[in-house]
Amino acid sequence: MKDLKKAVLFVVAAVAAVVYLSAVSPLGAQPPANGEPKDTVTLDKYKDKKTPVTFNHKRHSTDYKCEQCHHKAAPDGNKNPTCGTCHKAEKVDKTPSLKDAFHDQCQGCHKEKAKADPTMKDKAPTTCAKCHK
Ligand code: HEC
Ligand code: HEC
Ligand code: HEC
Ligand code: HEC
């Protein structure tokens, strides 16, 4: 009985691993309809101009809804495309530049939080060097 339970658990774990790997592996079907949230994200597209920005994606994505940041799905159905899929180096019509997209979304919320709760000032960075480390 105990062995049977173990065997069942093993099969369940193996299936879960395969499903998980096919979702995150570059060899798996892509792009994902809605990817696995990453723990840490480093934004470094502009690393030649400014030091990269690393943030705790997991924490942000448990505190806020995915759509708060991933506010538009790609035409292929991917709900979490990179921001640069749509936001380019320069503003196009109503679509802000990638730099503005990040600064407005990230700093915008941080400033709002600090205004509502001064203890957030130290936690949600609004000064250059606290994001660009
Ligand atoms: C809340 C976080 C945050 C704060 C605060 C912040 N930035 Fe950024 N900034 C970003 C992110 C994210 C990017 C995109 C980085 C990348 O992809 O390399 C970026 C990109 C940039 C870039 C490169 C884009 C370009 O077009 O040159 C510059 C320059 C920059 N920031 C300057 C600043 C300066 C100056 C300040 C302070 C006045 C500042 N940032 C404050 C998050 C922040
Ligand atoms: C605070 C804003 C924020 C929240 C909330 C958030 N994300 Fe993200 N996420 C980002 C940013 C910024 C990136 C990096 C995008 C880029 O590279 O241009 C990212 C990257 C991703 C990626 C990798 C995309 C790629 O192709 O490299 C996935 C998948 C993802 N997020 C899924 C999620 C899911 C699922 C949730 C909700 C459970 C979520 N995110 C919540 C901001 C957020
Ligand atoms: C599928 C295309 C697409 C993706 C992906 C996308 N955006 Fe946008 N974004 C737009 C368009 C188009 C606008 C212009 C206003 C509108 O139509 O909502 C916009 C507007 C914005 C604005 C201006 C305020 C607003 O909401 O109108 C910010 C800030 C922004 N995006 C940040 C981001 C960030 C950060 C990411 C990645 C986490 C991202 N966007 C991903 C298409 C996209
Ligand atoms: C909807 C609100 C919101 C948005 C959007 C948001 N943040 Fe935050 N962020 C917070 C709050 C609140 C904290 C403080 C969390 C705490 O410690 O209580 C925080 C903390 C941080 C920190 C310090 C802790 C850590 O995660 O490493 C960094 C860096 C950061 N944010 C970067 C970013 C970047 C870059 C973006 C845009 C891609 C972003 N944030 C978008 C609300 C937001």
Q: Do 61 and 5 have their domain in common?
A: no
Residues with CB under 6 A from ligand 2: 34-35, 37-38, 41, 43, 57, 60-61, 64, 66, 68-70, 80, 82-84
Provide the residue range defining the domain that includes 79.
37-131
Atom 13 (ligand 4) nearest CA: 124
pTM to 2 decimal places: 0.88
- In terms of DSSP H, where are the helices of the chain? 2-24, 57-63, 66-69, 98-102, 108-116, 128-131
**Angle (nearest 5°) at CA 119 between 113 and 124:** 50
Domain count, the chain: 2
Q: Do 99 and 124 have their domain in common?
A: yes
CATH code of 67's domain: 3.90.10.10
Q: Do 41 and 91 have their domain in common?
A: yes
Q: Do 17 and 55 have their domain in common?
A: no
- Taking only the tens place, the pLDDT of each residue in 22-49 is 444 444 434 444 667 789 999 999 999 9
Q: Do 58 and 99 have their domain in common?
A: yes
d(CA 96, CA 86): 9
Query: Which of 86, 98, 102, 104 gets mutated to test ligand 3 (max ligand atoms within 8 A of its CB)?
Result: 86
Mean pLDDT per block of 10 residues along the chain (133 residues) reads 48 43 42 70 96 96 95 93 96 98 98 96 95 96
Q: Do 10 and 43 have their domain in common?
A: no
Kindly give, in sequence order, each residue whose CB lies less than 8 Å from that of residue 50, ignoring residues fewer than 6 positions away. Answer: 132
